[in-house]
Amino acid sequence: MAEAFTGGVKPGGLTSNTEIRILLCYLIKTAGPVTRDAMQGALLQEELVNYFEFADALCELENQGLATQTPAGYIITPKGAIVADTLSDDLPRSVRESAILAVIRIQSWVHKAAQNHATIQKVGEEYQVTCVIQDENQDADAFRLQLTMPDALTANLVRNQFIARGSEIYAGLLTALTRPLTDAERPPEGAL
């Protein structure tokens, strides 16, 4: 049976509270400001730390004045920067690289999701996916597309693809809709 404070940590992950605090200082200094959710999601997904040890270490960072929580996320303090610079090489390189890449992936996804909104609503037996890109002023939609999918799995796939590639989809559709028509594509005189 796994221990409560080491369960969910893969071999090579961190189980020492001190190592976890060093890793958190390194993450915040390198990728900050970074939210608790982004750090927690990244480190747990990569199985680098245990949830309980993560929560305890993050609380200790604040109590020791190594990091400060702001509305944008955690930022490193000068004292925390010294810890990161001095001690991060004591951590395995694979752990540092894996943690940074995971945090960057999560931050990138959150940024894309803030720009490219997609929601799913069940309508009868089908699922309606509404994809939206808001204009910069956030008071109107620059782009809105509704698609009907036959099942939840396909609807989730479409939602995730739009979040990941919404800007590309919008640009491609705009290009297709604004390129000049060929003579064969133009409607005959008087047809419209």
Which tens digit of pLDDT belongs to each residue from 75-125?
999 999 999 888 888 888 888 888 888 888 888 777 777 788 899 999 999
Length of the chain: 192
- CA–CA distance, 187 with 136 (Å, rounded to integer): 35
Per DSSP (E only), the strands in 85-186 are 116-123, 126-134, 141-149
**Which residues of the chain have a pLDDT value below 50?**
1-2, 4
Q: Which residue has tokens 């752990």?
A: 95
In the chain, where the domains are located: 17-111, 114-178
User: 17-111 domain in CATH 3.30.230?
Assistant: no
Q: Do residues 34 and 27 lie in contact, with contact meaning Cβ atoms separated by under 8 Å? A: yes
**Which H/E stretch holds residue 82?**
helix 78-87
pTM, whole model, 2 decimals? 0.62
